A and B are shown apart, each in its own frame.
Chain A
Amino acid sequence: MSPAIFAATTIASRLTGVFWRRPKLLLGLLLAPPLLWLGMIYLGSLAALLVQSFYSFDDFSGLVVPQFTLTTYAKLASPANLSIILRTLLMALAVTLASAIIAFPVAYYAARYARGRWKAVFYLGVMLPLWSSYLVKVYAFKLILAKEGIVTWAASATHTDWLLNAALALPFVGGASLSSSYLGTFIVFCYVWLPYMILPMQAAIERVPLGLLEASSDLGATARQTFWTVTLPLALPGVIAGSIFTFSLTLGDYIIPQIIGTSASFIGMAVYQLQGTAGNVPLAAAFAVIPILIMLVYLTLARKAGAFDAL
C-alpha cells in the first residue's frame, strides 16, 4: 500500500476537501443567509407593501378593506396629496444638486491631493457628524437657524443681515426665520446627507487614473475640458451613487421637515401620520410606492444618459 500523500485527519481538513471538490457548495452556504434575508424578509415585506397599496380604507369603520382596487391611488392624485409629492420631489432634487456641488470639490481634494495625515483628517471630518445622533444634530440646527440663533447673530455682527434678510424675503422658500422656512429644511437636509454624497464621489474620483488626465492634457485639452470630458464622466457612477443616497434619504425622511421648516407635509411625514394616527395603511403604502417609482425613473434616465458606461 502506498503511503497517503495527504492524510485528512481532522474534521476541518475533511471539510476543506469537500469544499475544494464542490466550490459551489461553499458559495451556496455563504450566500444562503443573506439571500434569505434579502429575498424573503426584505423583498417580501416590500411586496406586502405593494399589495397593501391596492387595498382601500373604509373611513367610517376605520378598517382596511382587503380587496383589489385603484381607489387608493386615485386618492393619492388629490391636489393636497399631489402637492406633498411635488414638494418632496423638488426638495430632494434641490438637496441632491446642492450636495453634489458642495461635495465635489471636497471629494476631489481628498481623492487627488490629500495624503497621509490629511487623508485621515478628511475621513474624520466627513464621518464625525455621522457618529452623533441624527436627532441631536437636527435639534442643534433648529437652534442654530432660529431667529435668535447664531446665524442671525453672526450675520448682524458681520453686517451681512441684508444678505440673510434678502434670502428670507425670497418668495416661497423664505420665511420669518431660517428655522421656519423651506430654506432651513434645505440647509439641514444638505448638512445631514452630505457625507453620503462625499464618500462615494471620493472613491469614484480616486479610481480615475491620473494617466488619463495627462493623456487629455497631452492631446490639447484645457483643465476645464479635461474635467467635463474625462474626470466627470468617469466619476459619474460615484456621483450617481451619492445622489441615490441623498435623493432617496430626502424622499423618505419625516423628521427634519417636522422639526425645521414650515411644517408643510412631506412624503415621509404623510406615511408616518397615515399609518400611525389614522391607521390608513393602504394610502400610506401608496405614498411609500412613490419614492420607489421616482428612483426607478431616475436610475433609468441615468442609465440612458450613459452614467454607468464607465462601470
Chain B
Amino acid sequence: MPQTPAVTFSAVTRHFGPVKAVDGVDLTVAEGAFFAMLGPSGSGKTTCLRLISGFERPDHGAIHIFGQDVSAVPPHLRNVNTVFQDYALFPHLSVLDNVAYGLMVKGMGKAQRLPKAEAMLDVVKLADYGARKPAQLSGGQRQRVALARALVNEPKVLLLDEPLGALDLKLREAMQDELKALQRRLGLTFIFVTHDQGEALSMADSLAVFDKGKIAQIGTPAQVYTQPATRFVADFVGSSNLLPPALTQALGGPAQWASLRPEALRLADSGPISGVVQSHRYLGTGTRISLTLHGTDLAAFLPAGSPVPAEGSRVTLTFAPEALHLLGDAP
C-alpha cells in the first residue's frame, strides 16, 4: 500500500489582484522528506508555504495534509508549525515560555509543559537560556529557539521560511548541518523555502524550483542540477552556460536551447569550442575562465592543478557529448 504523502497540492491557485502568486501548482511532498521550495523573490514559494500553514487560502484547487483536505481548516487547527523568517519570537515572554507557548494554548499545565520545553531547548543546545528574553539572544540562538518552539508541538510537517537567511555565512553552514541532522533524527517532514540554490541543493532530498507562480521543475538536487528542465532552472540553479539553439547546433546538437555546466568543459588540443580568454577568476578550488563564442558568453571551470591560460590567450575546449543537456523551452 502506498504511503500517504505529507502534503499534496492539486492545481492550487492563489492570486493577489492581478498578481498570480501561485498559478496552478501540483505538488507532492513525501512523508519524512526534506523538501525545498527554491525560487527568486516573488516566485510564489513563500505563498505556497503560507497555503500549507493556512495563512493563505487557495482561490482554486485543493491542499491535502496527510490525506486530509485542509481547505476549511484554520491555521491553529493544523498540525503543522512554522519557523518564521524573522523568527517571530514573543518579546515579552522568556525563552522557556516562548518554547512552551504552543503547549500552553493547548491547555497543558505548567508542571507538564515546562519540562517538555526544557527538554526541547536541550535538543537545540540552549539548555541554559530558558530564563532569558529573546532580545538577549544572538541571531543564531533566536533561530534555535524558533525551531524548538515549533518542534515541541510535535508537528507532522515543519515549515521553514528562509530559516537561515538572517545568519552570517559561517553560522548558516553550521545550521544547515544541524537542521539536516535534526530532521533525520526526528524523521519529520521538513518543507523549507529558500532563494539560495546552494542551500537547497545541499540540504534537500527533493526540491521544487518556482518561477512566476508555477513550478518549473521538481526533482532531486542532482536531477535539477544536471538536467534542468528549462532555461530558467538552468540559469537559476548554479551557473550553467545557456546555449541558444544556433549555438547548440554548431556544437553538434539539435536546434534547441541547451545548458552546459562550466565544469563539463576542459582544455584540449582540439575541440568544438575555441576562443580568446576574456577574464579569469581564481575561486580556490579552481579557476573560472570566460570566453565568447558566436556572441554567447561561455564560462569554463578548470579545477585547481590544471594549467590556467592567461587572459587574452587563445584556448580550445572540449566536452563529453552527454554533458550537453537539452532544455524543454521552445527554440
Contacts and interface: CB of A to CB of B under 8 A. Distances in A.
Interface of A: 209, 211-212, 214-222, 225, 229-230, 233-234, 306, 309-310
Contacts of B90: 212, 215-216, 230
A219 B77 CA distance: 9
A7 to B, nearest CB: 43
13 contacts: A211-B84, A212-B88, A214-B88, A215-B82, A215-B89, A217-B74, A218-B75, A218-B80, A218-B84, A218-B150, A219-B153, A221-B76, A310-B91
Interface in B6-58: 53, 55
B174 interface: no
Contact of A225 (B82, B105, B150): B105
Interface string B144-162: 0000011001000000000
A222 B92 contact: no
B101 interface: yes
Contact of A217 (B75, B104, B106, B149): B75
Given A211-B84, A211-B86, A219 B92 contact: no
A180 to B, nearest CB: 45
Contact of A220 (B55, B92, B106): B106
B213 interface: no
Given A209-B88, A211-B88, A309-B92, A220 B82 contact: no
Interface in B87-104: 88-92, 101-102, 104
B92 A214 contact: no
A221 B75 CA distance: 9
Nearest to A228: B105
A215 B75 contact: no
Q: Name A's interface SS.
A: helix
Interface of B: 53, 55, 74-77, 80-82, 84, 86, 88-92, 101-102, 104-106, 149-150, 153
Given A216-B101, A229-B105, A310-B91, A222 B84 contact: no
Q: Name B's interface SS.
A: mixed
Nearest to B104: A229
A219 B101 contact: yes
Contact of B81 (A219, A229, A233): A219
Contacts of B91: 234, 310
A233 B149 CA distance: 19
Contacts of A209: 88
A222 B76 contact: yes
B74 to A, nearest CB: 8
A218 B79 CA distance: 9
What are the nearest 5 A-B pairs in CB distance?
A219-B102, A215-B88, A221-B105, A211-B88, A310-B92
Given A214-B84, A218-B76, A220-B153, 13 more contacts: A215-B82, A216-B101, A217-B55, A218-B75, A218-B80, A219-B76, A219-B101, A220-B76, A220-B105, A221-B76, A221-B101, A234-B91, A309-B92
Contacts of A217: 55, 74-76
A165 to B, nearest CB: 45
Contact of B84 (A215, A220, A309): A215
Contacts of A233: 92
Nearest to A221: B105
Contact of A222 (B101, B104, B105): B105
B70 to A, nearest CB: 14
